[in-house]
Amino acid sequence: MRRRSPMLIFIAILALVQGVLGVFRAFEWFNIGADQFGQGVLILPLVGAVAFARGGLVIVLAMLYALFAVGMLLQKSWALWLGLSVAAISILLVLNVLMLGESVSRTRGLLVDCADRHRRLSPVAVRTRGGQASQFVEWGSDSF
């Protein structure tokens, strides 16, 4: 077995950290989706389904990054191609976000969770009008 270079170990650790942070971000999207499912008749459950889909994409990418890290540490031949593939997917998702009009400064954290930051749903306020409470959802309102 060949000796592992320090750079290889560093890259594997970064990929593992990226995978773990991606899992946490996916759980956040699942939580957002679960909150939206219980509200409204049509629109908010649909928004919840979109949030679940984004969470699913983020968790798949996170698991692929973790698998890449393990493959790099074990010096498997498939790890290089897996890492290149996942990095290419991440770059394409970041470019998609930029083409949709998001500023470059708001895409700074997209390497960890590039699939879900371009438009984030969040309950902003509960406003009352005429004694009735209603919840408004604002697109892209969260600061990162």
Evaluate whether residue 50 is within a structural domain. yes
Please state the φ and ψ torsions of residue 23, each to the nearest 5 degrees: -65, -45
Q: In the Cβ-directed half-sphere of 87, how many Cα atoms lie within 13 Å?
A: 11
In a domain, 107, yes or no: yes
Q: Which domain holds residue 37?
A: 6-139
**120 belongs to a structural domain:** yes
The Cα–Cα gap between 80 and 67 comes to 11
The answer to whether position 79 is within a domain reads yes
CB 46 within 8 A of CB 40: no
From first to last of its 144 residues, the chain has per-residue pLDDT tens of: 677 788 989 999 999 999 999 999 999 989 988 888 878 778 888 888 998 999 999 999 999 999 999 999 998 999 999 999 999 998 898 888 788 887 776 666 554 444 333 333 333 333 334 444 444 444 444 433
Considering the entire predicted model, what is its pTM? 0.68
CB neighbourhood size of 90 (10 A) = 21
Supply the pLDDT for residue 98.
84
Domain count, the chain: 1
pLDDT of residue 16: 94
Q: What is the pLDDT of residue 37?
A: 83
Residue with tokens 């968790």: 59
Tell me if 133 is assigned to some domain. Answer: yes
